[in-house]
Amino acid sequence: MPYGKEAKEELVKLVDAKCLRVLVYGEDRYGRCVGDIYCNGKFVQEIMLKKGLAWHYSAYDQRIELATWEKEARAERVGLWALPNPEKPWEWRKDKRQCR
């Protein structure tokens, strides 16, 4: 996945060996918990979106601030938004499944 390695490295820097607070607010269609992650008082999703290292998946989360942070990163062409044609992770995974 393009920019996957960079996103993972940044996430590790943010949360590795630190105490996290996870506020679970739901469950996805596969039964996985969906929630917000805080590390040392910082909202992890906000940081990742603003750095252009994450996508806002509006099908599951329609909070306007998440969409705004992604839109700002796109406009500034930071992180994955510097790529000429970033591929949505859910589409990338779908293509990989079809190649098997």
Domains of the chain: 4-98 (2.40.50.90)
pLDDT digits (tens, 9 = 90+) for 24-73: 998 888 999 999 999 999 999 999 999 999 999 888 788 999 999 999 99
Question: pTM for this structure?
Answer: 0.87
Stretch 73-96: mean pLDDT? 88
Q: Could you give the percent of the chain with pLDDT greater than 90?
A: 68
- 99 pLDDT above the threshold of 70: no
User: What pLDDT shows up at residue 71?
Assistant: 97
Contact yes or no for 74/67 (Cβ under 8 A): no
